[in-house]
Every structure is written in C-alpha cells, then in structure tokens.
Chains A and B, each alone.
Chain A
C-alpha cells in the first residue's frame, strides 16, 4: 500500500510540475521545450508486468493531456516508451542478472553508463514521437529534428538535476 501511495504521489508531482512550471515558463527558444514528466515511467519498478506498464504509461500520458487539452498526444508517446522500455532494460542489464536485487532502474541498479544510455534513448524516442505527432499538424522535417534534439538536451539536463537533488535510496534486496 505504501508503495502504491509513493508512486501515486510521484505521478501527481511530476504532472503538476510539468504543467504548472515547465509548460508555463516562457520558452528560451521555440526549439527548447523542457519535458520531464515521463521520468515517472522510467522509474517504475522492474517487477511490473508489461501490460501493466503499458496501462500506467497510457494513464500518465492521458492525465497530462487533460491539462494541456491535447487529447492522445502525450498518451501516444508514453505508450510507445512504455512498450520499448523492457527491451532496452534487457539489453542494458548487467550479465550477473541482479535484476531483482534492486527495485527500480537507477544509476546504482543499472550502472552509471547503462543508466545514462537508458534515459537518453527513451528521452529521444519520447520527444521524437511527441513532436512528430505535433508536426502532423504543422512544421517541417528540420524543425522536427532540431526541436527533438534541442528539447532532449534541455530535458536531460533537467533530469540530471532531478537525479542529483532527489536521490532515491535503493535497498539491495537479497533472498537470504
């Protein structure tokens, strides 16, 4: 129950910060839009089932959409990274298979370099799909690429800040 409550509070905080802080500040440049709410999906535990992960991603995206009044836009991008996440974790997981020694992906559980790869890959995919869905409505290909790269860069910078400020204490879980 306390686990559930913890994730619920995390979701609410991410959505509120995204909507009321990051989407409210006047953008530095129209290529640089910071988006970090999907970190909630990246921080979900390893043990979650794949369809549960997809459903949670969909709910996260849709909640965001209710605030920005863009039905399905964030939801589509979130479901995509929710689907891809297990594949990337399988590839990046250390060979000793200490999958269940830690609860959720972090720099300690995956190792620093694999964790950075994990976050940057999913950030690129999320931003790419999000801005592509927007670009169906207007824009061109250079705009899309530049916006994806610029926004990913500034989002990763913010994620770094989040990771440094809010260190998640990870317990080493053993069977014995």
Chain B
C-alpha cells in the first residue's frame, strides 16, 4: 500500500496528464452526448451572448449583399400576389389562392421562422452555426435551416435563446437531394476539403448529367421540397461503383451568412408515428 502511494506521488504529474488526456478524448468520443449535457446549456448561453455582441459589429460589413438577397426573395413573393393578375376578358375569373394562416392553418406543413446568425465557421472540418433564436422562440432539435439562397443546415441543439445548427459543411451532414432535370434522388455529403464544394452521391451512371444542372432538396428530406442546394460543377465517375460522384457548388455562400429561416415541419410527428407503427409490427 505504501508503495502504491509512493508511486502515485512520484508520477503524479504524469498521471494527472494522462487523466486530462483521457477526459478530453472521452469528451470527443461522446461527441453527440456532449450537446445534451447540462453544462453545455450554460456554456452555450455564455458563448452565444459573446457571439451576438461580436455579430453586431461584424454584421454591418455584409449588409449590402444581405439586403440584395432578401430583396430578391421579397420580389419573388410579391410576384405571386393575387392582385398582380388581371385580364380584360370578363369571363375569366382569377382567384387568389395564397394560403391564409387563419383559415388554413390545419393544412400548413412548413412554418418559417426568421433568425439571426450570430456565429459561423467555414474553415473547420466540422462547422456549426449559432443562431439567436432558441426554445423560447419555438426552435427545437431536428428542425431545418434555409437561407435566402438555399439550404444551410439542421438544428442540432437549442438553449433558451440560442440554437446550434449543423451546417451543410459538416462531415456528418446528410441531405437527401434531387436533380431538377431528371428527378433522380441522391445524397449530399461534405468531404471537409473546400467550403465551395459539396458532394452528391448515389446518382447512377445511367442518368444523363450535365455541368450546371440544378440540385434541389427532395421530398424525402426533412427540408421542404424544392429548396435550392447548388449546381453541378464537376462530374466524376467512380471506378468501384455504378454511381457518379458529383461535385456540387452550394448556392449559399456560407462565409456571408447573416439572416436565415428556421423551418418547422408541423406534420413530422404524425408521419414519424405512422412509420414507427410499421416498425413495431415487424
């Protein structure tokens, strides 16, 4: 017993070093649990408030670009308004069928909520975005985030006033995507190399693919269908499989992200319940 204490005393620094390394590595291994840990809520609120202070200053630099893209989106919506359509032929009756929240809320599937980006990185292999909207404002894990130009990411965790979003530029990010032209669906991943390129996989070689083809979110994804992901920049034929490896240029410029929309799927729970019922029967 005395020898044991002598040993601990002699190698106390080494043991302390090993202990700290083990703590760090186990934190790293339990990566996904980390986001649920209690202390993470407190840390998230603190780093979030620092990040929002920083963003107040940084936000001004991208204001012009941001205004332009929001105005484009507004213009798009204005063109869909009913009063834009008029015909001299009185036998034709135009009916505006834009949905009103008050009467048709029972049929609503996707609810958009705007949010302000307070922190964002693109240079790491696993990138996260912090938005200034949290559980108190209706954000929860699993909701998706889109920007004015297209897909951004998926909400991973939310505290009271902030939420962390797993960016599309994250090595665990998987988004179901569809080619606009031919309709084949595949999977968007990121290899961690360049923030200007993501990979579209699982598209069979029999499909005719051209450079510049548009890639949308598919109806199987958590995203609303038809949200722009990007355009095909390079076509690589994989040797070992029957599929293409398509390099896609994201339509969202992740380095200039400021305003995003959190999208809540109001019918997701019902769909999941139905799908789980199938699993239980097996």
Contacts and interface: CB of A to CB of B under 8 A. Distances in A.
A30 B24 contact: no
A50 B119 CA distance: 35
Interface stretch (B78-86, B93-101, B188-196, B263-271): B188-196
B211 to A, nearest CB: 23
Contacts of B128: 68-69
Nearest to A58: B20
B123 A27 contact: yes
A50 to B, nearest CB: 5
Contacts of B58: 20, 24
B124 A51 contact: no
Given A26-B255, A50-B13, A33 B123 contact: yes
B24 A79 contact: yes
B31 interface: yes
Nearest to B54: A20
Contacts, number: 92
Interface residues of A, number: 37
B54 A26 contact: no
B180 interface: no
Contacts of B121: 23-24, 68
B20 A54 contact: yes
Contacts of A75: 20, 23-24, 27
B242 interface: no
Interface string B158-197: 0000001000000100000000000000000001111100
A23 B16 contact: no
Interface string B18-44: 001101111110110010000000010
Contact of A72 (B26, B119, B195): B26
Contacts of B193: 30
Interface in B53-96: 54, 58
> Which of B13, B46, B123, B164 counts the most chain A CB atoms within 10 A?
B123
Contacts of B137: none
Contact of B47 (A50, A58, A67, A139): A67
Contacts of A133: 28
Contacts of A79: 17, 20-21, 24
B12 interface: yes
Contacts of A27: 122-123
B125 A134 contact: yes
A66 interface: yes
Nearest to A136: B28
Given A69-B164, A72-B23, A138 B13 contact: no
Nearest to A73: B28
B126 interface: yes
A121 interface: no
Nearest to B171: A138
Given A79-B17, A137-B171, A138-B171, A58 B125 contact: no
A122 to B, nearest CB: 15
Contact of A26 (B24, B47, B192, B195): B195
Contacts of B54: 20
A128 interface: no
Nearest to B164: A69
Given A51-B16, A76-B28, A71 B34 contact: yes
A-B pairs with the 7 shortest C-beta distances? A72-B27, A72-B24, A72-B28, A76-B24, A75-B24, A71-B27, A71-B34
Interface of B: 12-13, 16-17, 20-21, 23-28, 30-31, 34, 43, 46-47, 50, 54, 58, 119-126, 128, 164, 171, 191-195, 255
12 contacts: A23-B124, A24-B120, A26-B255, A58-B24, A62-B24, A68-B124, A68-B128, A70-B124, A75-B20, A75-B24, A133-B28, A139-B125
